[in-house]
Amino acid sequence: MDEKDKKRMIQCFRLSPEDRSLKSWRKVNRPFRVLKNYMMISLCKRIPDWEFKNHIYRALGMKIGKHVRILGCNFDVFFPELIEIGDDCMIGSFTVILTHEFLNDEFRKGPVKIGNNVMLGAMSLVLPGVEIGDNAKIAAYSLVNKSVEPGSFVGGVPAKPIHKK
């Protein structure tokens, strides 16, 4: 994966001065849909059955593979349908996966694609537009702000390679 491929694939939308930051979040997505997403994602944090949780996540539009274990993760409530998780992945507790960012003068959104057999350590943060390759391992407390190569072991803030197979 060359340096160009590591950049995040995101869409940027310029905001007018009266629509700055979170002030006009209702224009980004319908409030009732965001509320429904929030309630369902919050409920899933308390359900111990992985398969049942995965059915709920799929109902929200997320693409979840087989045998995925999600341990109390905070998914994006605005655009959960932009999240794709491959087969046999494990996502640690309190991990945050975002598909949007509100900045002072712009709004960004982008898909997050997590490959097969990926392990995301607890309390990691994955930003919009990131792709994590198959068999990658992300250390706990990491900030994933660029795409991760398949088979890599990354960690830190921002995440940098620790070891590659």
Is 28-164 a CATH 2.160.10.10 domain? yes
Mean pLDDT of the chain: 89
**pTM for the full predicted model:** 0.88
Catalytic residue among 55, 67, 100, 163: 100
pLDDT at 4: 47
Whether the ω angle into residue 158 lies within 30 degrees of 0, i.e. cis, is yes
Which three-class secondary structure string do you get for the chain?
A: CCHHHHCCCCEEEECCHHHCHHHHHHHCCCHHHHHHHHHHHHHHCCCCCHHHHHHHHHHCCCEECCCCEECCCEECCCCHHHEEECCCCEECCCCEECCEEECCCEEEECCEEECCCCEECCCCEECCCCEECCCCEECCCCEECCCECCCEEEECCCCEEEEEC
pLDDT in tens, 108-125: 899 999 999 999 999 999
Our answer to whether residue 100 is catalytic in this structure is: yes
Residue 40, pLDDT above cutoff 50: yes
Of 164, 143, 142, residue with least CA distance to 153: 164
pLDDT in tens, 127-146: 999 999 999 999 999 999 99
Are 163 and 135 in contact, with CB atoms under 8 Å apart?
no
